[in-house]
Chains A and B, each alone.
Chain A
Amino acid sequence: MSGIFKSSLGKKYLMAGTGVVLLSFVVGHLIGNLQVFGPPELINRYAYFLHSKPALLWSARIGLLAALVIHVSTAARLTMENRAARPIGYAGGVAFGSTWQSRHMFLSGAVILAFVAYHLAHFTWRLPAVNGLGDFTKLQTVLDGKTVPDVYGMMILGFQVWWVVLLYLIAQVLLLAHLSHGIASAFFSLGLRNHVWAPHLQRAGLALSVALFLGFVSIPAAIFTRVIGADYAEKTRMELRAATQFEAALVRGKEAR
């Protein structure tokens, strides 16, 4: 069984298996996020529900983190071994009969990894330095009589910043490239395809990656073009400014004293 971690084929099983786990998260994440097209209470209630079940939330997070660590570390090992297998390259010509996506899985993966780090800092850890606006932890709303984080307001406000939208777009283009090769390839690596299934898997993989791309891009696009939440954003922006200014005033007051 140690062949799974040592052999070239085994490492591809690891890539495929963890890739499927990460893909299932990406699908679930999109379905959750699309609730932003509903009333503010919808996604806020969903976010509150997730955070009110810490055991479930952390099981999922630890599972995903483990899958991510295996996926990334195995990719790094494979890339190093693959490069070592050809110490001297060719003078001319690119790899014949292959797509750009298939030849640049490590590059697209590296950009997606960097984006995941940014995305966590942006909306999960809510670091004020990376959103171009202010302290998102100050955004609160009242839901069913309880004060909860205003996720809707955070998204509506966050995607009105042009360079944030641009970063998200770049990441989505590379995710599209990564998945358009990766989904069908996972079945290939696991040996779960034959000549009957191969063309269907290729098409289904491409269709799913395009659907995910359109779904994810629709959110910042709709918000940036003010199709959704424009009024709510103005209200939230004022609340955020007021909260930030109130804090600044407190600090100034303390300093004055």
Chain B
Amino acid sequence: MKIKLKVWRQKNRDTPGQFKTYDSPELNEHMSFLEMLDVINEDLANKGEEPIAFDHDCREGICGTCSCVINGKPHGPNRGVATCQTYMRSFKDGDTIVVEPWRAKAFPIIKDLVVDRTAFDRIQHAGGYISVRTGAAPDANAILVPKKDADLAMDAAQCIGCGACVAACKNASAMLFVAAKVSHLGLLPQGQPEREKRVLAMVKQMDEEGFGACTATGSCQAVCPKEISIAFIARMNHDYGKALLKGDPHAAPGQAG
């Protein structure tokens, strides 16, 4: 099969980009989308042109590095998979495929399809952790966790931080990512001590990074390669409201009012 690739080319953050269209060499329909890009890049390199820069790492849907908006949908036409798990058999011979980077103010473009997602790291640093005693590994069942809580926490913990939720949201909102991170720790006993501090700090950082707010359109869960539910956003809204109403009980006496 052969396709036409209409792809976003941008030299660096400060240079305006534009679409360029390339004709692919002969492709195998069982190639992954990233392998297709590899083949096109090889072709471009042979012609002495600059290859298309794109993010990739594990190529098995668990690292969250790949990030292409394919024909208007992050990670391509299929549900519950990342770009690396999208195969050329999902397209037809002769198709024109439009490939764009994640579009968000908080994710500035580095080059072509590669965007800077360190905003997610900074949100994690703000509160996506628990405090534990280091030392010998504790007994696995020292703290009992109800099975249902563990399952729900695991659903949230599946988030690979790829940013497809931001890319799909009409507001470029990071709510699904932040909600998943807040919930997966907030559902477990080990996450309770910092539960309120965590949600306040992570939401504050999220706002400072310039992500939009949530309109509950559901686009994020529709494109999430791990199919994380927006129910976690409602859970975060609940936690945040409670933390906001309580205030900080450990504030200095002078500030406590």
A20 CA / B203 CA spacing, docked (Å) = 24
Closest partner residue, chain A, to B106 (CB atom):
A85
Contact string against B for A residues 5-29, beta-carbon threshold 8 Å, 1 for contact and 0 otherwise: 0111111110000000000000000
A192 CA / B217 CA spacing, docked (Å) = 17
Q: How far is the CB of B241 from chain A (nearest CB, A)?
A: 6
Cβ-defined contact, A12 with B173, below 8 A: no
Cβ-defined contact, B222 with A96, below 8 A: yes
A199 CA / B156 CA spacing, docked (Å) = 20
A90 CA / B166 CA spacing, docked (Å) = 13
Cβ-defined contact, A191 with B71, below 8 A: no
Cβ-defined contact, A99 with B217, below 8 A: yes
Closest partner residue, chain B, to A105 (CB atom):
B215
In the complex with contacts A9-B237, A98-B222, A191-B236, A92-B71 CB distance below 8 A? yes
Cβ-defined contact, A188 with B217, below 8 A: no
In the complex with contacts A8-B206, A103-B215, A84-B105 CB distance below 8 A? yes
User: Which of these, A82, A85, A91, A188, contacts B237 with CB under 8 Å?
Assistant: A188
In the complex with contacts A86-B105, A102-B218, A8-B234 CB distance below 8 A? no
Residues of A contacting B239 in the complex (Cβ-Cβ under 8 angstroms): 191
Cβ-defined contact, A103 with B217, below 8 A: yes
Contact string against B for A residues 67-109, beta-carbon threshold 8 Å, 1 for contact and 0 otherwise: 0000000000010011011111111111111110011010000
A165 interface hit (Cβ, 8 Å): no
Cβ-defined contact, A190 with B237, below 8 A: yes
A193 interface hit (Cβ, 8 Å): yes
Cβ-defined contact, B103 with A90, below 8 A: yes
A147 interface hit (Cβ, 8 Å): no
A195 interface hit (Cβ, 8 Å): yes
Q: How far is the CB of B205 from chain A (nearest CB, A)?
A: 11
A253 interface hit (Cβ, 8 Å): no
Residues of A contacting B234 in the complex (Cβ-Cβ under 8 angstroms): 187-188, 191-194, 198
Cβ-defined contact, B237 with A8, below 8 A: no
Cβ < 8 Å to B, chain A residues 176-223: 181, 184-185, 187-195, 198
A204 CA / B19 CA spacing, docked (Å) = 46
A56 interface hit (Cβ, 8 Å): no
Residues of A contacting B203 in the complex (Cβ-Cβ under 8 angstroms): 7-9
Closest partner residue, chain B, to A195 (CB atom):
B231
A11 CA / B235 CA spacing, docked (Å) = 17
A189 CA / B215 CA spacing, docked (Å) = 9
Cβ-defined contact, B212 with A8, below 8 A: yes
Cβ < 8 Å to A, chain B residues 59-105: 69, 71-74, 98, 100, 103-105
In the complex with contacts A86-B104, A87-B105, A198-B231, A96-B219 CB distance below 8 A? yes
A81 CA / B19 CA spacing, docked (Å) = 27
In the complex with contacts A191-B238, A193-B234, A194-B231, A7-B207 CB distance below 8 A? yes
Residues of B contacting A95 in the complex (Cβ-Cβ under 8 angstroms): 168-170, 217, 219
Cβ-defined contact, B200 with A82, below 8 A: no
**Taking each of B19, B237, B239, which has the highest tally of chain A beta carbons within 10 Å of its own beta carbon?**
B237
Cβ-defined contact, A98 with B212, below 8 A: no
Contact string against B for A residues 44-73, beta-carbon threshold 8 Å, 1 for contact and 0 otherwise: 000000000000000000000000000000
Residues of B contacting A11 in the complex (Cβ-Cβ under 8 angstroms): 213
Q: How far is the CB of B181 from chain A (nearest CB, A)?
A: 15
Residues of A contacting B212 in the complex (Cβ-Cβ under 8 angstroms): 8, 81-82, 84-86
Closest partner residue, chain A, to B247 (CB atom):
A1
| Chain A residues close to B by CB (< 8 Å) | 1, 3-4, 6-13, 78, 81-82, 84-99, 102-103, 105, 181, 184-185, 187-195, 198
| Chain B residues close to A by CB (< 8 Å) | 6, 19, 69, 71-74, 98, 100, 103-106, 168-173, 200, 203-204, 206-207, 210-219, 221-223, 229-231, 233-241, 244-245, 247
List the 9 closest pairs (A to B, CB-CB), nearest first: A93-B72, A97-B222, A191-B238, A98-B217, A191-B237, A85-B212, A82-B171, A82-B212, A85-B172
23 CB contacts below 8 A, A to B, read A1-B245, A3-B200, A3-B244, A4-B244, A8-B206, A8-B207, A8-B213, A11-B213, A13-B241, A82-B213, A85-B106, A85-B212, A86-B105, A86-B171, A93-B72, A97-B223, A99-B217, A102-B215, A102-B217, A185-B215, A189-B216, A190-B238, A191-B239
